Structure 1
């Protein structure tokens, strides 16, 4: 047998065996996609989600381990345009997956858009449990990127009642709340500062709530991808911060989250530009820009 053919067969067997083992160890998976309307100004020519993402919907549809998805805001370009929502719903229906929304400023940035969203999809912040993991969706649009008032009280009550009895906590919102102009994330090119107050309470109130939980916490923001930076990853103690999005056709991506039977969490960073879905490498290898 040709040596090259033999090597190819051995490599294929090893890859297949590893993939099978990973699949066997999976309890469930979900996907996270941010800024799915794509690049500003293109929605009038697009039908549904960002075209490079639309081209990869079969990856989601055909993956039986994926039990749901989360769109982390800027789901449509104009939240007051019902046609955009109808087109989005058609793309979701194609995947045959349940998709939850963490709305962004394009979706609910004014009273009309918020009213349309609530009529079509319900509350803008909420929580649920999935296989003993706690999923929390927040709405920083209500108060200039702050989680405050009734929403903050609800969050505290949710964590007090559920936080100690679960395995993992997954938190979703649109804005990159951990960004500050003078902190270690200052060089990450988020899409926008639209609606941001001069001071916000992420580091003073919200982050400590989750840090004190002593459970693995994964926070996802979706306002990335239109500029040079399409994703970021940062782990500190029990809290992992992840931003992911699309639109710039440079680092467009979405993330597959695999929860193992032992409740450890693994990530797959799916590149949308080009044929190689692994082109962006491992999410966990990310290094903050200096």
Structure 2
């Protein structure tokens, strides 16, 4: 795995607390061609680039507008990933409202979305999502980046079998053709396998845990350089184990960054509105290195 620089943002204890008490999930949806303003299958940027990630805005609100205005004003940021729960229920009206907001804020960079649990509330079958974004999951090459956008929005399912088969095939093909300096970034909504999760519990189901195990098996063979998730209305980073020895020591891991500060207050386990730290994350990529920085709302 190529080297990855990370900035710790929140103690792991807070993360464990969220797992112990349960996440307060909220849904999202968005519109592909209008929101991205480009062909989603191929985007060209320089080998030195920056992009932003944001999550859990749940539609139009003052905080999200502020964060989007900062992103739009930063000429270094080449594209934006919304990590899910971009709307409250994923209805077409909410998607249209979000598209209009981005236009009003003069956001002229590509925007890529992963579905959150709120994004599928209005239409669990993803029909509205596919209508607006074309695919439930996808990958694209952005010069020195291979970006993989996944769907694990439904806690009753996790990663669907079809998606996992697609993911492994995508990473196999990437390994065959990728340049030596290409970095792999994966984004999905619901994080899992937090530190202490086995002790304090989590919000997964039997089916989603099974899918998570298969997901880990794939990453063990084809480890990415960075994972971004949302769902928790705060920020945190941790190393997710991919392989352990007989003594339980981690032999292989992948850095995961959670960013869900796009507009909704933290879950009660994190202190609620009184502990809110609204933000987006600016990601800088250069020379096989990934560096993350939390940018607060003003």
Normalising by structure 1, we get a TM-score of 0.69
**1:268 is matched with which residue?**
293
**Which is further off, 235-244 or 106-115?**
106-115
| Contact 2:238-2:256 within 8 A present in 1 as well | yes
Counterpart of 2:283 in 1: which secondary structure?
Answer: strand
Instruction: Number of aligned residue pairs: give it.
Output: 225
Counterpart of 2:85 in 1: which secondary structure?
Answer: coil
CA-to-aligned-CA distance 1:16-36 (integer Å, 9 cap, x gap) = xxxxxxxxx981111111101
Matches within 5 A, 1:1-290: 27-37=48-58, 48-80=59-91, 82-93=92-103, 94-109=106-121, 111=123, 114-141=126-153, 144-163=156-175, 165-166=178-179, 167-179=182-194, 182-183=197-198, 186=200, 193=203, 196-199=204-207, 200-201=209-210, 203-213=212-222, 216-225=224-233, 230-235=234-239, 237=252, 239-246=254-261, 247-248=264-265, 249=273, 250-260=276-286, 262-272=287-297, 275=298
Q: Give the 4+ runs in structure 1 shifted more than 4 A.
A: none
Q: Give the drift of 1:171.
A: 0.7
**1:45 is matched with which residue?**
none
Q: Report the Cα distance in structure 2 between the residues aligned to 1:68 and 1:78, rounded to whole angstroms.
A: 24
CA-to-aligned-CA distance 1:61-83 (integer Å, 9 cap, x gap) = 12122111111111100212x22
Q: Give the drift of 1:183.
A: 3.0
More relative contact order, 1 or 2 (CA 8 Å, 6+ apart)? 2
Counterpart of 1:86 in 2: which secondary structure?
Answer: helix
CA-to-aligned-CA distance 1:142-162 (integer Å, 9 cap, x gap) = 672422321111111000000
CA-to-aligned-CA distance 1:152-208 (integer Å, 9 cap, x gap) = 111110000003625211111111233487437x58xx9xx4xx4235135522123
